Copies of this chain bind each other. A is one copy, B any other.
Amino acid sequence: MVLIGAFQARHLLDRFAVGFGIYFTYMRKLARIFDVAKEAGVSPGTVSKVLNGTQRMAADTEARVWKAVSKLGYQANWHARILSTGRSEALGVVILDILNPHFTALVKGAGQVASNQGYTVLLADAEEDPGRELNLIQSLRARTDGLILAGSRLSDQQIASLHSPEQPIVTVGRRIPGVPSVTVDEYTASLQLTGHLVTQGCKRIVYLAGPPFWVNQERERGYQDALALAGLPSQVFKLTSPDLLGGEQASALLWTVQPFPDGVICYNDLVAIGLMASLKTLGVKVPQDVAVAAFGNHPLAAHLSPSLTHMEIPSRKLGELATGLLVELLKKPQEASHVQQYAVLRPRGSTQRPEVA
């Protein structure tokens, strides 16, 4: 399994950073607080207080301590410090796949906010070792003050049972009673996207469904409702995986529909891209034969040929908000709150049907 995180150095040591490195070569062991204390002619407790600003000391004492720190290139032992304080000042982020740009953008956002707030982020790539996810999460939990779950396959109940005021959990793209969350209004997004295809004149619109969690449920529901409203038939296929490969394999599914669909809504960008590649090799033209649209914010959606229409999901913003929320909860425990964002329709070439344009 893979952990990813945002890391922050201790602020008080920053100013002495330059030049540190050179000492390491000559040191057998890293300097301990005891060594600094000896060098400065004070006690370890005093050094700790000066470094953390916990208690003011005489000016010259502080100066001696800082000088010793600088001279020895002292870095506090992270683990000892955590053990002593009981706070790791680290947040855990669980994502489904580090190769999916949605999640990396989310991590980027989370990392930035965490960094500003003085936290480190540890990231776990759940895909790497499926089946042991609960295990992964518990271990991650043991190392952090709180968790952001952005792509977990755990059940609602499991997640709810892990959430506690001392070690809060924030979910992204998933609504569980009692658990704080940050979500996109996927239902409305899906209504809009499906509506867009209808407007483009599509009559036989298929939905390629992702993992059976909240996000997909909402997207599927919006799709169904929009089609019902338009008086059109619906057809849902389950993807083998919500990525490029899954998209490529999905083209086979489409042939089971007679006549061939004239519109496809994909669970995410990667699926759409994989699908379009596969359709191209099969000689099916996008958007002339079939329009393709997706949910996501792949940075290259506009660079493809045809460019990809999607409901733009603010991945990075989600990461930022989730982290902000988690930090709030850590500062003072409070009621679970739900933050909602909105997706934006980006109409592009993949749904620009000739008869309409």
Give A contacts to B, CB under 8 Å.
Answer: 1-10, 13-14, 17-18, 20-22, 24-25, 30, 75-80, 82-83, 88, 98-99, 101, 104-105, 107-108, 111-112, 115, 120-125, 128-129, 132, 134-136, 138-140, 142-143, 158, 161-162, 164, 167, 244, 273, 276-277, 299-300, 302-305
Closest residue of chain B to A162 (Cβ to Cβ) is B21
Cα separation A123 to B335 with both chains bound (whole Å): 32
Contact B108 A2 (CB under 8 A): yes
Known: A3-B5, A25-B161. 9 other contacts (CB 8 A): A3-B123, A4-B98, A4-B123, A5-B122, A75-B139, A80-B83, A83-B83, A277-B303, A303-B304
Q: Are A1 and B88 in contact (CB under 8 A)?
A: no
Residues of B within 8 A of A122 (CB): 3, 5, 7, 122
Write the chain B residue with the least CB distance to A300: B300
Bound CA span A277–B30, Å? 50
**B17, A164: Cβ atoms closer than 8 Å:** no
Q: Which of A13, A20, A21 counts the most chain B CB atoms within 10 A?
A: A21
Contact A142 B2 (CB under 8 A): no
Q: Which residues of B contact A111 (CB under 8 A)?
A: 1-3, 98, 125, 128
A80 CB contacts on chain B under 8 angstroms: 79, 83
Q: A83-B79, A164-B24 are in contact. Are A121 and B17 (CB under 8 A)?
A: no
Q: Please report the C-alpha to C-alpha distance between residue A108 and residue B88 in the assembled complex, in whole angstroms.
A: 25
| Most chain B CB within a 10 A radius of its CB, from A3, A134, A162, A244 | A3
Report Cα–Cα, A49/B93, bound state, in Å. 32
In the complex, chain B residues whose CB is within 8 Å of the CB of A142: 30, 75-78
**Which residues of B lie under 8 Å from residue A167 when comparing CB positions?**
24
When the two chains form their complex, are residues B112 and A108 in contact, meaning their CB atoms are under 8 A apart?
no
State whether A2 touches B9 (Cβ < 8 A).
Answer: no
Q: Are A9 and B79 in contact (CB under 8 A)?
A: no
Q: How distant is A350 from chain B, measured CB to nearest CB, in Å?
A: 12
A21 to B167: give the CA distance in the assembly, Å: 13
Q: Which residue of B lies closest to A30 (CB)?
A: B142
Contacts of A115 in B (CB 8 A): 1-2, 128-129
Specify which of B2, B82, B277 is in contact with A5 (CB 8 Å cutoff).
B2
